[in-house]
Structure 1
Amino acid sequence: MCMFLLYKAPKSHKPNDTSILHTTPLTPYTMVADQNPVAVVMIPLPLQGHLNQLLHLSRLIATHKVPVHFVCTTTHGRQVKLRVQGWDPNTISTIHFHDLPIPPFACPPPNPNSTNKFPSHLQPLCEAATNLRGPVASLLHKLSPTARRLVIIHDSLMSSVVQDFVSLPNAESYTFHSVSAFSIALYISEKVGEQIRKLIKPNGITKISLSFEGCFTPEFKQFISVQHEYAKLSSGRIYNTCRIIEQPILELLESEARSANKLLWALGPFNPLESKRFGSKLPKKDGGPVDRCLNWLDKQASNSVIFVSFGTTTSFSQQQVNEIATGLEKSEHKFVWVVRDADKGDVFSDNNNNIIRVELPKGYEDRVKDQGLVVREWAPQLDILAHPSIGGFMSHCGWNSCIESMSMGVPIAAWPMHSDQPNNAVLVTEVLKTGVLVKDWCQREEVVVAAAVEKAVRRLMGTNEGAEMRRRAVALGTNVRKYVLDGGVTQTELGKFIAHITR
């Protein structure tokens, strides 16, 4: 019998109701002789971009000999371990995986013809994941006596799931934001947003709108609102970023955090940084599509290839795929293009999930075989970005992709689709100046024609302007890696975080 059946979660608490600390006790907390100083429980939202970041953070914390419990649905725990890049999760013995069941949920396919690119087909999964509250409460109850302090790190969109930690006298929680500090700062208050606008353009003039207009469906806005109310119970916030990337923004957020008596930690980049680009190779896979892709890249000149990938939640119409194909071909630059459908709620629900639903133009792959490589399987993005032949990245600007690209020193051709991505595109193109914009957000419902794709590729890969962006991206990546190495600022901040939770 699953242990969560033994515990019935109490009625939902109001986030500002401190009386719950005394009115909903669990079994009394008992000190035991063999306690760990601390145990960490990770609660990700079961979408790939969220799962990936907290699994990487689990690795970083586990290297400090802190036991980490990674809690997920059965399906998505399997998914994130299958897709992890840069390290083998089986080599970290202090990470304990807890795969928990959730009720069945609707699993519609993505709609490639929708003008709004928000992946609304994944909302049923997000709603179903909130049913983890009972199992998570039971697990926390079980783990509480094993450590002097129980630390819960949860995705900001899973805040309601962990609310029962307040009943445990040795538990505290930290909210993890899976997006940039820049995007969160714009979201939390108009006052902070105005300060950011001044940072970007002191004269108040900017080409790109800083807003969340068209970024979400009304239903998902409501989901966010509910989860963020429960985030008020946490002791602080964690970001997958570092101060070399977002220092002024983090300072604004720290000021806001202090006013709310919260802590703030910038612990990123979480992704591994060892790579062929910097003198050592990431772990070899089993000779499948990963090796095929990397072997092709090995034959290309340094900085000559643009990597084209739009993440796990983007679906394109047949018309848009044709335009991208034509634009890449006409650019006359080398490319690796990931052509696959968006994830469904359950990526294992059928055998065709990772096969594209649309066709490339007739004879396309034969025509471009000397110019480009089409990848239809799950792509080793971290390995690809780390390869020395990669000189640019056409991306949707999801935060995983942005932070991986920045840490590897690769400039971005920004093509945002939804959520935080439009604001991340502003960060890349206007603040850091390490990229070009493929498409203005105000034109988000329009098809991007081949000429625009061609222009963006040529601008990034074949002009002096693009070379200067590449120089800035390389410098940024160098500084980011210095921050992460032993003695660097991020490493110090991670050390401070470990010291804080083991205090």
Structure 2
Amino acid sequence: MTTNHQDNQNHGQNGLQVKEQEVVVVMVPFPAQGHLNQLLQLSRLVSSYNIPVHYVGTASHNLQAKVRVHGWNPLNIFNVHFHDFEIPPFVSCPPDANGTCKFPPHLQTCFNASKQLGHPLAQLLVQLSSTARKVIVIHDSLMGSVLIQEVRVIPNVESYCFHSVSAFSIYLYIWESMGKSIDANDAIPKDIPSLEDCFTKEFLDSISSEYDYRKFNSGNVYNTCRVIESAYMDLLDRETMSNKIKNWALGPFNPVTIVPQKKNRHFCLEWLDKQAPNSVVYVSFGTTTAMNDAQIKELAIGLKQSNQKFIWLVRDVDKADVFSGEVRRVELPKGYEDSVKYTGLVVRDWSPQLEILAHPSTGGFMSHCGWNSCMESMSMGVPIAAWPMHSDQPRNTVLITQVLKVGIFVRDWAHRQEIVTSNMVETAVTRLMASKEGDEMRNKAAELGRQVRQSMREGGVSCTEFNSFVAHITR
């Protein structure tokens, strides 16, 4: 039973075959960009086995997922079906760039309203279960409460919990939730960052409210691969063995082979074409972190002082509805873009991150270390200058810098309340892009990327695990 993952859109068509309507899969994402994207990417992989996939959300969030995806076009895949459900209206508050905790509290109203997807989702599950032999629900770990009743009462519905963060982070969360201290050992480095300032209290309460629903799941799904996190997948397997719950490393979900487009290319890719190999650092901090004006100024000056080529994505963070209302225009120092026109490129719209990371001119990535960005960077073999902001990012940074050794710190999490000065930015960029240490790290990242991509090919560990997962859900 083999399947070639290298062809990301059609890899299921030459190996394991599944008849339509025998088994269908329903994806239930959490309404934040990093979560929406991962389950849409997983939809592409599952659908390549000729399994119909039903992607559930509001019209706005489904559109957000589709227009922002990169590396493939959801409209070109016939068996991914989008369901636009309504939820109660919610207030879309502006982000606060000056908050002590960088977690986005302005999105909480949307998060709360999304828990009202239960009724339309129930109707969909009842409908699908009446015609399909089996309905597989893959839901975000923060959305289990939305569907648990149907999972319990409909005999041919089976659910799997998707964790949007690294296996490393999940293992640490489980360990702490059991009241155990995190002691350094062969798998766990010393000085693991605390969770202080990673989340708001309201969001932590929301996470806690989902724990009880996980006992009804048939397994856990991760966007990782054993090339990267075999030690932590093994640790998770030990933790869930007594409950006979299996953990599946099915990533990377993102395409690992990018075919260059000849038409309608983003202007930053045209700019990258003119640069030397491995000469550009890509700077982006995701969709949920708002920097204040003082920090933006220091970052701008530091990038300029480094004298390294850069692409800097400068845009405000997402609102609860990314298509409505005004967006704050991030102000740079006067005349800044003209002053760096020979070394840097400022991008203010949505950028094709995967294509940027895959471009041969890109040699480094200054990142918040959200798990999407980490997986995309590692699969493309690009080292990271890590600047964590909230959520799982501080612990992802430890995995990247101390365990895998394919990145450096911009700022230690212990100093998160302090501004990152222009000199700190300059030092980090220079270390990553113009030092022997950076060159060695780039070689290590390139080798890791090669191994990750190899794992997706026929016979590779990720391809084999995905085949095993599909065989399991279609048994």
Q: TM-score range by the shorter chain?
A: over 0.9
Q: Does 1:92 align with 2:77?
A: yes
Kept in 1: contact 2:193–2:413 (CA 8 A): no
Amino acid at match of 1:332: N
Kindly state the Cα deviation for residue 36 of structure 1 after the two structures are TM-superposed: 2.1
User: Match for 2:122 among 137, 148, 166?
Assistant: 137
Q: Does 1:378 align with 2:350?
A: yes
Kept in 1: contact 2:20–2:50 (CA 8 A): no
Structure 2: how far apart are the matches of 1:500 and 1:195?
34
Kindly state the Cα deviation for residue 348 of structure 1 after the two structures are TM-superposed: 0.7
Any idea what the Cα deviations from partners look like across 1:73-95, whole Å, max 9, x if unmatched?
A: 11100111111100010111111
Q: Which residue of 2 aligns with 1:254?
A: 237
Kindly state the Cα deviation for residue 286 of structure 1 after the two structures are TM-superposed: 2.8
User: Match for 1:128 among 113, 120, 132?
Assistant: 113
Structure 1: how far apart are the matches of 2:158 and 2:85?
22
Structure 2: how far apart are the matches of 1:470 and 1:384?
16
Distance 1:117 1:103, change over 3 A: same
> Structure 2: any 5+ residue segments left out of the alignment?
1-18
Amino acid at match of 1:340: R
Q: Does 1:344 align with 2:319?
A: yes
Kept in 2: contact 1:216–1:419 (CA 8 A): yes
Spell out the pairing of 1:103-502 with structure 2 (5 A cutoff).
103-164=88-149, 165-190=151-176, 197-200=184-187, 206=190, 208-275=191-258, 280-281=259-260, 283=261, 286-287=264-265, 290=266, 292-350=267-325, 352-353=326-327, 356-502=328-474
Kept in 1: contact 2:199–2:391 (CA 8 A): yes
Kindly state the Cα deviation for residue 197 of structure 1 after the two structures are TM-superposed: 2.9
Structure 2: how far apart are the matches of 1:195 and 1:215?
18
Kept in 2: contact 1:335–1:371 (CA 8 A): yes
Amino acid at match of 1:397: C
Q: Which residue of 2 aligns with 1:30?
A: none
Structure 1: how far apart are the matches of 2:242 and 2:440?
40
Q: What is the CA RMSD across the aligned residues, in angstroms? A: 1.5
Kindly state the Cα deviation for residue 209 of structure 1 after the two structures are TM-superposed: 3.0
Kindly state the Cα deviation for residue 211 of structure 1 after the two structures are TM-superposed: 2.7
The alignment's TM-score, normalised by the length of structure 2, stands at 0.93
Kept in 1: contact 2:280–2:364 (CA 8 A): yes
Matched residue of 2:244: which SS?
Answer: coil
Kindly state the Cα deviation for residue 424 of structure 1 after the two structures are TM-superposed: 0.1
Matched residue of 2:211: which SS?
Answer: helix
Structure 1: how far apart are the matches of 2:252 and 2:359?
18
User: Match for 2:21 among 20, 33, 36?
Assistant: 36
Amino acid at match of 1:67: P
The alignment's TM-score, normalised by the length of structure 1, stands at 0.88
Structure 2: how far apart are the matches of 1:240 and 1:144?
27
Q: Which residue of 2 aligns with 1:70?
A: 55
Matched residue of 1:146: which SS?
Answer: coil
Kept in 2: contact 1:178–1:239 (CA 8 A): yes
> Structure 1: any 5+ residue segments left out of the alignment?
1-33
Kept in 1: contact 2:187–2:231 (CA 8 A): no
Count, aligned residues = 455
Distance 1:221 1:147, change over 3 A: same
Kindly state the Cα deviation for residue 285 of structure 1 after the two structures are TM-superposed: 5.9
Kindly state the Cα deviation for residue 46 of structure 1 after the two structures are TM-superposed: 1.0
Kindly state the Cα deviation for residue 194 of structure 1 after the two structures are TM-superposed: 5.7
Kindly state the Cα deviation for residue 481 of structure 1 after the two structures are TM-superposed: 0.3
Q: Which residue of 1 aligns with 2:3?
A: none
Amino acid at match of 1:135: P
Kindly state the Cα deviation for residue 195 of structure 1 after the two structures are TM-superposed: 6.9
Matched residue of 1:137: which SS?
Answer: helix
Distance 1:454 1:80, change over 3 A: same
Amino acid at match of 1:414: A
Matched residue of 2:158: which SS?
Answer: strand
Kept in 2: contact 1:242–1:268 (CA 8 A): yes
Structure 2: how far apart are the matches of 1:392 and 1:488?
27
Kept in 2: contact 1:186–1:196 (CA 8 A): no
Matched residue of 2:42: which SS?
Answer: helix
